[in-house]
Amino acid sequence: MNRMRSTALAVALVGSLLGSTGVAQAATWSSSDQWATWSNGGYTVRNNIWGSGAGFQSIWANSYGNWGVWANHPNTGGVKSYPHSAKMVNRKLSALTRLSSSFNVTRPGSGAYATAYDIWADNHAYEIMIWMNKQGAVGPIGSRQTTVSVGGHTWDVYRGSNGSNAVFSFVRTSNTDAGTVDVLAVLKWIGSRGWYGDVTVGDVQFGFEITSSSGGMDFRSNSFSITS
């Protein structure tokens, strides 16, 4: 690794460990590896840089709920990464009596991204995205179906396909950086429309779907948890 590259990585990693006050803090775990993962408390935290044309991104975590990334992705179209924390549920929808989640995030006021849940069902046949906030030129897959109040929030609902699986997106009608979502109510609402049957709910993920963050930006999950 050349000296310039080493310096860039060091600067980026320091950026990932800066708090809102700009004071560096030690993290329990950190990495700049594209597919870096860390297991904690029954959850998995992932760096998950996967999009074409992605830039540099480093991740840090103190726990499954308190983690963040410093990301410097170019101002071009297309999702570059989805750093997230996830918990595997692996139960039939009909067998669930509760599935809820609470979160609190700190996010940049520029760039292009969404703070979103990504929920997989029936071995990736169905993808359910729940957008809590969005910034810049980003939008869901598919066409708008309706507006509905369910799970404690009001959403614009989109339905489409990414070519590999069906995608249902619930985009909150106004941005929020903290709250609680009744995920089970959202999943049951989809079933009530006849869009799927008694699916098996798999991985429930929460994080930042980043399209651009030119110059380097901090994304932080202050707290996050799933109850089922």
Residue reference for tokens 């906030």:
133
Q: Out of 209, 217, 220, 226, pick the active-site residue.
A: 209
Q: Out of 111, 127, 140, 213, pick the active-site residue.
A: 127
Q: Are 157 and 189 in contact (CB under 8 A)?
A: no
Rounded to 5 degrees, φ, ψ at 185 are -60, -40
Strand runs (DSSP E) across 93-182, as ranges? 100-106, 112-121, 126-135, 143-150, 153-161, 166-172, 178-182
89 has catalytic annotation: no
127 has catalytic annotation: yes
Between CA 167 and CA 120 the distance in angstroms is 10
From the number of C-beta atoms within 10 Å of its C-beta (0-12, 13-18, 19+), residue 47 rates as buried
Cα 133 to chain centroid, rounded: 11
Active-site residue list: 127, 209
